[in-house]
């Protein structure tokens, strides 16, 4: 069942605070640092991306010493909305002081102009009635909103459990309720989003699941009704596990534009953190004015992905390692090449909710080659006999090419060639052969791989060389081929071509290929310099 807004029993409803409602942007950048100087310098740069920041005062040894600078920051930036947090160690923060010290620091932050203070629910529970009443009247006098938060660092409970956590907080009648959990599966995001949808009907709620699996909640919770979500100031400056950078949330995932009509796609696999697919596809969606987004999903179990596809729901998925074979039994139908190759890299959800499978890796190999040569009867050597080689061998045989497979483990080459009706070649015979094209499908030459070339220099006997490796963009094999004056095809072209076909399957529109190629190339160059 698609994620839908559910109703909540009247008894669960918390009164909306009577104070004027503070308007907040959708994105809050969390900033922490070991010293006040660093904290405020980071805050200054965060303000360039968002006028809503959280200062983690508990990251400092003496949080109270930062209060004068906090006041100055707010005087310099009248446009800023600021949350002050001083979470104690026992509840997942860094502050080693007592409850009364925490309340005192938060009160001082409020009196210095902080717009919101974040108090963990355990502290609210531990405080005596007079202590809490004094704290709240100081906040009221300062015009500061109260956010009460709960953090579960081990798991995400079912939606009912999360709603209970939200209602425990709501009993204190804060201005904002924040429930943070830890995602152990993708399905945990559904619990968070359901809780957010439910609670947003009667209070301002923030709901997030930490960890790499919780990325869906970080991107989609405002769309589900959350008051805001959190980001880090930059990659590497995260204040919580799985936090995305402000740049990623705003510029890549376009947080501000996501709404109920946004179509959701995903790239799924493990590992997935460095996948270029979201950048490439979101750029294409934007270019074609499509209201759509692509999320990177780290998948530990296929069932978990199938749940998300069904219940989020997802319109389409780019499937990567190690799921390409595993998804086959779950497809209602697939194109003939997918069935023949036994690997699927693209899922489309039909209007009937069923999954349809395609293999666009084949087009990724065939298209760049057919643009440069006639494939019928062309002699093509494929180096390697793994997953990428399968797409190349089956695809090129299908186009009428005379395909030869050579692989480090010869038996694998024999098996693949037999299945695809190709030829097999022992590596020691390569020097005597000549080909129209050589396609490298081994990882040789890839950054981090010791072996630079997939063959010896005297074995490079072809008019064209296609290297599937694209990190670095110009591999040792392509450099050698270029130096010999041979035509070359980079692995980026394959990556973009397989992505362009996915785009067409999902949207029915021609893909903006040159724009897709441009952003992928730019990002790879940026990463190479980082």
Which residues are identified as catalytic?
324
CB of 381 to ligand NAP, least distance (A): 13
Place of tokens 């949207």: 507
By CB under 6 A, how many residues form the interface with ligand NAP?
25
Name which of 27 and 389 has its Cβ closer to ligand NAP.
389
Alpha-helical segments (H) within 112-179: 121-126, 129-142, 159-170
Instruction: Compute and round to an integer the Cα radius of gyration of the chain.
Output: 27
Q: CA–CA separation, 239 vs 456, rounded Å?
A: 49
Half-sphere exposure of 321 (CA within 13 A, CB side): 6
CB of 429 to ligand NAP, least distance (A): 16
Q: Which of 491, 503, 520, 524 binds ligand NAP (CB under 6 A)?
A: 491
Q: Which residue is nearest to ligand NAP (CB)?
A: 386
In this chain, which stretch among 49-57, 77-85, 112-120, 441-449 interacts with ligand NAP, using CB under 6 A? 441-449
CB of 432 to ligand NAP, least distance (A): 20
Residue 342: which residues within 8 A CB-CB, separation 6 or more? Answer: 325, 328, 390
In this chain, which stretch among 102-110, 222-230, 347-355, 463-471 interacts with ligand NAP, using CB under 6 A? 463-471
Name which of 193 and 462 has its Cβ closer to ligand NAP.
462
Dihedral through CA 30, CA 36, CA 42, CA 44, nearest 10? 100
Closest CA to 135 of 98, 114, 110: 110
Four-residue CA torsion sign, 422, 427, 433, 439: positive
Assess 279 for contact with ligand NAP (CB under 6 A): no
CB of 118 to ligand NAP, least distance (A): 43
Assess 454 for contact with ligand NAP (CB under 6 A): yes
Residues 365-394 that bind ligand NAP (CB under 6 A): 384-389
Assess 442 for contact with ligand NAP (CB under 6 A): yes
Assess 470 for contact with ligand NAP (CB under 6 A): yes
CB of 520 to ligand NAP, least distance (A): 10
Residue 222: which residues within 8 A CB-CB, separation 6 or more? Answer: 26, 228, 229, 255, 258
Q: CA–CA separation, 328 vs 221, rounded Å?
A: 31
Cα-to-chain-centroid distance, residue 158: 23
Name which of 321 and 486 has its Cβ closer to ligand NAP.
321
Q: CA–CA separation, 291 vs 499, rounded Å?
A: 18
123 within 8 A of 88, measured Cβ to Cβ: yes
Assess 441 for contact with ligand NAP (CB under 6 A): yes
Dihedral through CA 376, CA 380, CA 384, CA 386, nearest 10? 0
Q: CA–CA separation, 62 vs 86, rounded Å?
A: 11
**Structure tokens that stand for 348 in this block:** 């489309």
Assess 45 for contact with ligand NAP (CB under 6 A): no
255 within 8 A of 27, measured Cβ to Cβ: yes
Assess 520 for contact with ligand NAP (CB under 6 A): no
Name which of 189 and 441 has its Cβ closer to ligand NAP.
441
Name which of 144 and 345 has its Cβ closer to ligand NAP.
345
Name which of 313 and 387 has its Cβ closer to ligand NAP.
387
CB of 408 to ligand NAP, least distance (A): 3
**Structure tokens that stand for 306 in this block:** 């199938």
Name which of 63 and 454 has its Cβ closer to ligand NAP.
454
Q: Which of 24, 314, 469, 500 binds ligand NAP (CB under 6 A)?
A: 469
Binding mask 399-418 for ligand NAP (x = CB under 6 A): --------xxx--x------
Q: CA–CA separation, 184 vs 188, rounded Å?
A: 7
CB of 324 to ligand NAP, least distance (A): 9
CB of 382 to ligand NAP, least distance (A): 10
Q: Which of 494, 516, 520, 524 binds ligand NAP (CB under 6 A)?
A: 494
Q: First-to-last CA distance in the chain? A: 43
Name which of 57 and 446 has its Cβ closer to ligand NAP.
446
- The Cα angle at residue 411 between residues 409 and 416, in degrees rounded to 5: 105
Name which of 357 and 364 has its Cβ closer to ligand NAP.
364
Residue 430: which residues within 8 A CB-CB, separation 6 or more? Answer: 381, 406, 455, 456, 459, 461
Assess 444 for contact with ligand NAP (CB under 6 A): yes
CB of 269 to ligand NAP, least distance (A): 11
CB of 327 to ligand NAP, least distance (A): 16
Name which of 25 and 387 has its Cβ closer to ligand NAP.
387
Maximum CA extent, the chain: 90
Assess 468 for contact with ligand NAP (CB under 6 A): yes
**Structure tokens that stand for 48 in this block:** 């360039």
Helix, strand or coil, per DSSP, at residue 302: helix
According to DSSP, the β-strands at 355-358 and 346-349 are antiparallel
Residues 328-367 that bind ligand NAP (CB under 6 A): 364
Run of H or E including 423: strand 423-424
Where along the sequence are the contacts to ligand NAP (CB under 6 A)?
Answer: 364, 384-389, 407-409, 412, 441-444, 446, 451, 454, 468-470, 491, 494-495, 498
């Amino acid at each position: 069942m698609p994620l839908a807004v559910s109703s909540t029993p009247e008894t669960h409803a918390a009164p909306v605070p009577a104070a004027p409602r503070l308007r907040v942007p959708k994105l809050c950048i969390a900033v922490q640092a070991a010293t006040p100087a660093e904290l405020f310098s980071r805050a200054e740069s965060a303000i360039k991306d968002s006028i809503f920041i959280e200062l983690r005062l508990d990251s400092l040894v003496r949080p109270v010493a930062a209060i004068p600078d906090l006041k100055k920051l707010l005087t310099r930036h009248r446009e800023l909305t600021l949350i002050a947090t001083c979470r104690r160690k026992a509840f997942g923060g860094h502050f080693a002081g007592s409850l009364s010290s925490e309340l005192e620091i938060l009160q001082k932050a409020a009196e210095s102009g902080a717009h919101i203070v974040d108090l963990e629910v355990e502290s609210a529970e531990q405080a005596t009635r007079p202590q809490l009443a004094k704290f709240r009247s100081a906040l009221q006098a300062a015009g500061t909103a109260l956010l009460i938060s709960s953090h579960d660092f081990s798991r995400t409970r079912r939606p009912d459990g999360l709603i209970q956590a939200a209602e425990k907080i709501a009993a204190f009648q804060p201005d904002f309720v924040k429930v943070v959990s830890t995602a152990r599966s993708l399905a945990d995001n559904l619990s968070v989003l359901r809780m957010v949808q439910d609670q947003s009907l009667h209070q301002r709620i923030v709901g997030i699941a930490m960890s790499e699996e919780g990325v869906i909640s970080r991107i989609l919770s405002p769309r589900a009704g959350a008051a805001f979500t959190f980001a880090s100031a930059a990659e590497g400056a995260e204040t919580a596990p799985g936090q995305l950078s402000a740049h990623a949330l705003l510029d890549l995932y376009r947080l501000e534009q996501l709404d109920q009509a946004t179509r959701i796609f995903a790239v799924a696999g493990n590992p997935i953190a460095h996948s270029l697919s979201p950048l490439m596809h979101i750029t294409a969606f934007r270019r074609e004015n499509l209201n759509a987004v692509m999320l990177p999903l780290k998948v530990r179990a296929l069932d978990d992905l199938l749940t998300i596809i069904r219940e989020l729901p997802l319109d389409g998925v780019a499937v990567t390692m190690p799921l390409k074979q595993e998804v086959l039994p779950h497809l209602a139908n697939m194109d003939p090449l997918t069935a023949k190759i036994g690997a699927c890299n693209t899922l489309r959800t039909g209007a009937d909710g069923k999954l349809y499978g395609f293999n666009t890796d084949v087009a990724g190999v065939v298209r760049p080659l057919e643009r440069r040569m006639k494939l019928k009867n062309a002699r093509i050597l494929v180096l390697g006999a793994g997953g990428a080689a399968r797409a190349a061998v089956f695809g090129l045989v299908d186009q009428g090419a005379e395909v030869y497979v050579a692989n480090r483990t010869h038996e694998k080459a024999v098996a693949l060639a037999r299945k695809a009706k190709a030829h097999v070649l022992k590596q020691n015979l390569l020097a005597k052969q000549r080909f129209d094209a050589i396609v490298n499908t081994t990882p040789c030459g890839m950054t981090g791989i010791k072996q630079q070339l997939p063959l010896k220099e005297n074995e490079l006997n072809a008019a064209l060389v296609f290297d599937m490796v694209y990190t670095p963009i110009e591999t040792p094999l392509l450099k050698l081929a270029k130096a010999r004056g041979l035509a070359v095809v980079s692995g980026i072209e394959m990556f973009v071509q397989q992505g362009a076909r996915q785009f067409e399957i999902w949207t029915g529109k021609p893909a903006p290929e040159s724009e897709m190629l441009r952003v992928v190339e730019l990002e790879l160059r940026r990463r190479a310099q980082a």
